[in-house]
Structure 1
């Protein structure tokens, strides 16, 4: 037992009971309780319960068979009750383990610990410390953050329900379109059927008409042959012989002619396609409890695998120049190909599946919500594109009085960068204010990234060879200059707050701390295939870094 264990620990018995008799305990005795009184909220041994029952005949006493109902009725507040021994009071502190406990915990778990303190002996001293006095405000601040997160999650739940209703409407709309398509196919098939029936009917009617005509001719000639006039009979005989040859020829032809039949063979591709389907489409909820894994912000990544993916298309006139990357909720990747005036959609294998052409070169791109993204086009403003089905479509445009280069979005706030400033707008294009400006050089703000929580903005200032971190009011929080970060050109941030910088002159990818103050690790260099990289992106679902530039391929780094 610890040398400085308080003398207040019970000295009467070494036996440890789950529940000790309350009256005996008050007398300094250690007897096991066999009963519990709900009204008195006390425990009684066999001897004491007899006295209790004489005094309180109407009280309901619970025996050991109802021991589960005893727990927590120790005459203590919930805060004072020992989590491990429900009827014991927390009155000890093990400083070795920084752990609260009761005297039973000390006897069983902390017998060999060196520093055991009696809580009444230290409680008064702690209350006078600065930390204790400031603690309530810290708790209130944390509680406020928890409430904000709870409210945000509640809003997320509601938006999820709204998204579910919208998707259900899309499914019904798709089903209606499919029904319309099948109705059209049925109508066309019926038209073909009716035409074939008509043609077959005419074809058979011709044979019937031939038979009928010959039958009538032969009947007429037969009647004439049987007449009493020799000349008429002879002429009829000769003509009838000709018709007989014609009839025999027709009989021979029609006797071997097969019956006309009509059959229907369904297009096997329809059944094969439909049978191969399990659903009308895919739905994805991300993140969810099966796919979301929190990675501490302090975690420093390593590169597990490297690969390349070609994004140049046969229809591309020029070599690719990938200047912007963002990700849709389904895991699809959008990239801007500045030289070919296109935004390209990539699937999970980083293959181009759709494109959207623009009149001028698209600069940078950011995800807005759902399958919508925003693209900057210099003096042409910002164009919003939507991925629907298998196509990319421009849905609306915003015009501004300044050059549009960098762009980022968070929670309905649109941030657009020019050469030296960052402007804040609503999603409808209403100007809120200029939040940051740096005129130390001609070209200080190429692009920037808002953190996932929307509190900070990372600005790679290429010409000044530094990374600036500001808040959304424009206050500079930190500035980072590092030999590895030479001409920083692009920054991306993970959901958990990990920050990655892509540097053009040094051809390196660097992980930095979330405050933007220190370099943590170099993840990729020129030897890994990087050559003047221009843009970087961290994929939310696969935890990969995608790096693009003035090349026809993307460099993909799988992290761990």
Structure 2
């Protein structure tokens, strides 16, 4: 606000006042107003207000303490008020900046601008412009879109509340299951403790009984000896000496025995695991299904044994051996990894550090495997059907076999249903091998159904159609839900799905791992490429325990992508 000068200055002065005195302004002077008359609708400086008050004693005069009310009394509508200088009227347009201005804006910000127009001069021409004429309709359209998105967001808010209640129930259920498991562990540990206490008690009581019995007998034999009864003293003497020898032997045995003790050796992994948790989310995995992952860290391992064939090599345009190597991956509940090595016709068991600890030879081994339950997995063997492999300790063994009237290529499992691909079709079977139905068929190429995957909820099947460079998503009735074609999907070879529906695809010829949306309609992000050292990825697995992607690639290589 400009300072209050006792002397008037002419209107041509550069001084800009919030409100100029109306009478002074009429006389060509530029004095700052300190009062506003509600009746006159005029502003007055200190000098002029005295004359006004003498002439109009009944008028309501507002001082600077009520300046917030001046605008309303001055007849300014909210649309006319300058956003930067709240008590000034918008009167001008700076065409250089296409910005509405008040007098203070022009003085402070637009003094050097070339084109300043008076707003009333622009009104007539504006009404004839096409944009102005179309504006009401355009506003209506944009308002309709805003209302639509408002409804969607409102619906989303309500659905989130419902989801939140369900998640809270899941969290409570998880807590109850954890409590129940801890109660079970405590009960079993208590049972073991009680058994050991009873066993130790019986053991010690047996020694006590032996000592007590000998003490009693020695005392009974000693009495006739001390009383010197001639008839019994000799007999008592003989029996007493025999029991003395027996007591000596017993004492030697008992002194050699250590005292019984019980020690509780707690498993440090339990407390370490629990102390490493910040929330139950680590156990329950609360995720946004549209969450976009990033690769936090990459590492590489070699799953090779001494008896394996030499790695593949490409010389010129000739491929010496089949570059396909690790074609199937799955993880066991204990963190061990199972892989299928196509070139060496082996199933390999890896520890949590991705080192080979056991192998099992399977002639005619094809290209896929899936986890069934516990430590059991299933592997496809072409026309030799499916073999079920169980891990016991650190050893692999085939526990049962199923044969089918078609070639067995891809395989997936969900809730007791076995889905087997014949390279052109997908069939649903029971776990005993009984056909339920043919789910899907595509005869448009040699291999149209590769290493497909059933979603964790069992409602969707993702098919990497390598020959067509597409990801096909179907339901379990065979209806095509979506077809995704993207430059990154060159020969898509395998798909994996997280518990919360995040979908990951590896593509062999583009040397890329991508994340796509749950519906299989859009690529969300590219996670790793050939620039990152990825070549010919053939198999992929999402580790629910460690939030890592395990990718089988060319040769004997495994890429491990730690996600965040």
TM-score, normalised via structure 2 length: 0.54
Instruction: Determine the C-alpha separation between the residues in 2 that align with 1:78 and 1:153.
Output: 30
The answer to whether the 8 A contact 2:474-2:480 is kept is: yes
Compute the displacement of 1:528 (Å).
Answer: 9.3
Compute the displacement of 1:184 (Å).
Answer: 1.1
* 2:117 aligned counterpart, secondary structure: strand
- Mapped pair 1:261 → 2:261: yes
Counterpart in the other structure of 1:123? 123
Instruction: Determine the C-alpha separation between the residues in 1 that align with 2:426 and 2:57.
Output: 85
TM-score, normalised via structure 1 length: 0.54
Instruction: Determine the C-alpha separation between the residues in 2 that align with 1:92 and 1:27.
Output: 24
Counterpart in the other structure of 1:165? 165
Counterpart in the other structure of 1:85? 85
Counterpart in the other structure of 2:62? 61
- Mapped pair 1:243 → 2:270: no
The answer to whether the 8 A contact 1:307-1:556 is kept is: yes
Instruction: Determine the C-alpha separation between the residues in 1 that align with 2:136 and 2:479.
Output: 40
Compute the displacement of 1:532 (Å).
Answer: 9.2
**Which deviates further from its counterpart, 397-406 or 169-178?**
397-406
Counterpart in the other structure of 1:94? 94
Change (3 A) 1:260 1:39: farther
- Mapped pair 1:340 → 2:364: no
Change (3 A) 1:142 1:118: same
- Mapped pair 1:316 → 2:340: yes
The answer to whether the 8 A contact 1:37-1:62 is kept is: no
Instruction: Determine the C-alpha separation between the residues in 1 that align with 2:202 and 2:297.
Output: 71
Number of equivalenced pairs: 401
The answer to whether the 8 A contact 2:427-2:439 is kept is: yes
Gaps of 5+ in 1: 1-9, 293-304, 320-338, 345-353, 364-374, 384-395, 434-446, 450-458, 461-484, 491-501, 510-523, 536-546
Counterpart in the other structure of 2:545? none
Compute the displacement of 1:243 (Å).
Answer: 1.7
Compute the displacement of 1:261 (Å).
Answer: 3.3
Change (3 A) 1:489 1:48: farther
The answer to whether the 8 A contact 1:72-1:86 is kept is: no
What pairs up with 1:64-463 in 2 under 5 angstroms? 64=65, 74-226=74-226, 229-251=229-251, 254=254, 258-282=258-282, 312=326, 313=329, 315-318=339-342, 340-341=367-368, 399=439, 448-449=483-484
Change (3 A) 1:214 1:534: closer
Instruction: Determine the C-alpha separation between the residues in 1 that align with 2:460 and 2:42.
Output: 60
Compute the displacement of 1:74 (Å).
Answer: 4.8
* 1:316 aligned counterpart, secondary structure: strand
Instruction: Determine the C-alpha separation between the residues in 2 that align with 1:147 and 1:430.
Output: 37
Q: C-alpha deviations, 1:112-140, integer Å up to 9, x for none?
A: 22222222112211211222212222222
Compute the displacement of 1:155 (Å).
Answer: 2.7
Compute the displacement of 1:534 (Å).
Answer: 11
The answer to whether the 8 A contact 2:439-2:478 is kept is: no
Instruction: Determine the C-alpha separation between the residues in 2 that align with 1:400 and 1:218.
Output: 91
What pairs up with 1:488-503 in 2 under 5 angstroms? none
What pairs up with 1:477-496 in 2 under 5 angstroms? none
Change (3 A) 1:13 1:507: same
Change (3 A) 1:355 1:218: closer
The answer to whether the 8 A contact 1:22-1:43 is kept is: yes
Change (3 A) 1:431 1:147: farther
Change (3 A) 1:211 1:22: farther
* 1:128 aligned counterpart, secondary structure: coil
* 2:105 aligned counterpart, secondary structure: helix
The answer to whether the 8 A contact 1:21-1:43 is kept is: yes
Instruction: Determine the C-alpha separation between the residues in 1 that align with 2:193 and 2:242.
Output: 40
Change (3 A) 1:191 1:528: closer
Compute the displacement of 1:236 (Å).
Answer: 0.9
Q: After the TM superposition, which parts of structure 1 deviate over 6 Å for at least 4 consecutive aligned residues?
A: 37-42, 305-311, 354-360, 375-379, 400-407, 412-420, 424-433, 485-490, 502-509, 524-535, 547-557
Instruction: Determine the C-alpha separation between the residues in 1 that align with 2:508 and 2:476.
Output: 34
Q: C-alpha deviations, 1:73-109, integer Å up to 9, x for none?
A: 7521222222222232222122222222123322332
* 1:149 aligned counterpart, secondary structure: helix
Aligned Cα root-mean-square deviation (Å): 5.9
* 2:80 aligned counterpart, secondary structure: coil
**Which deviates further from its counterpart, 237-246 or 25-34?**
25-34
Change (3 A) 1:161 1:56: farther
Instruction: Determine the C-alpha separation between the residues in 2 that align with 1:220 and 1:49.
Output: 133
Compute the displacement of 1:44 (Å).
Answer: 4.0
Change (3 A) 1:133 1:280: same
Compute the displacement of 1:265 (Å).
Answer: 3.3
Change (3 A) 1:232 1:551: closer
Instruction: Determine the C-alpha separation between the residues in 2 that align with 1:281 and 1:209.
Output: 57
Compute the displacement of 1:186 (Å).
Answer: 0.9
The answer to whether the 8 A contact 2:473-2:483 is kept is: no
Compute the displacement of 1:241 (Å).
Answer: 2.0
Instruction: Determine the C-alpha separation between the residues in 1 that align with 2:125 and 2:161.
Output: 52
